[in-house]
Amino acid sequence: MPRTTVAGARRRPATLLAAAAACLAVGVAGCGSSDSSSSAQPSPSASVSASAAAGVLGIRDPWVKAADKGMTAAFGTLVNDGDTDVTVTAAATDVSPMELHEMTMKDGKMVMQPKQGGIVVKAHGSTTLQPGGEHLMLMDLKQQVKAGDELTFTLTFADGKTQTFTAVAKPFTGAQESYAPEHGQPAA
C-alpha cells in the first residue's frame, strides 16, 4: 500500500479544491459567493436546518407542487441526526387540510393512500418525500398555490413535539400523478 505523507495529503485536496473553485467561477459567472459548502440550498432549507438543531429533523430542499385547485403535495428530504428513530404523525398548513400519504401497488396498479403509522425517519438516516413515494398531501386547497409562493407547514411527531418549515411552490409534471380524488373527476 503506497504511503502518503501529511504534506502530500494536504496538497492534493488543496489542488482539487482550487480546480473546483476555478470551474465554479467559470460556470457560474456573476455569482459573488465564495462559500465552499458542499451543497447550495435555498434559504427556506437553511432556516429549517437551523431549527433541527433544536431537536427534531433537518429538512432539505422542501418544495410544493404548484396547483390551481383541488389537491397537491409537499416534498423534501427529512434528515434525522439523532440517536433514535423519529415518526412524523401529522402535517398541517393554513392552505388546506393535510394527510401523510404513500404510493403503493394494489391489484397491479399504483395507488395513493394514507400512510398508516406515520412516516418514520431512522436514527442517523433520512427519508425522501417525493412524487411517486411518500409525501405530505394537501387535500382541499382553499386558494391557488402559485409557483414562487412560500407555504408554512407544521409537522407533528409521535412524541408530541412539532416543527415548522417553509417550502416554495414550483411547477412540476414529473411523476404524472393525479392529486385529485377519482370520485371528484368530472365525467368526460
CA distances from 174 to 65, 130, 150, 178 (A): 10, 10, 21, 11
> 139: how many CB neighbours lie within 10 A of its CB?
15
> 61: how many CB neighbours lie within 10 A of its CB?
17
Supply the pLDDT for residue 175: 53
**Which residues of the chain fall short of a pLDDT of 70?**
1-55, 174-188
Residue 96 DSSP label: B
Nearest to 166 by CA among 56, 38, 74: 74
Domain ranges of the chain: 43-172
Nearest to 119 by CA among 59, 37, 182, 50: 59
Supply the pLDDT for residue 172: 87
Nearest to 77 by CA among 65, 62, 67, 56: 62
Contact of 133 with 100, CB cutoff 8 Å: no
Supply the pLDDT for residue 94: 97
CA distances from 123 to 20, 78, 108 (A): 33, 11, 33
Contact of 156 with 73, CB cutoff 8 Å: no
Contact of 44 with 62, CB cutoff 8 Å: yes
Q: Which residues contact 106 (CB under 8 A, 6 or more apart)?
A: 113
- For the 43-172 domain, the top CATH level (class) is mainly beta
Supply the pLDDT for residue 44: 40
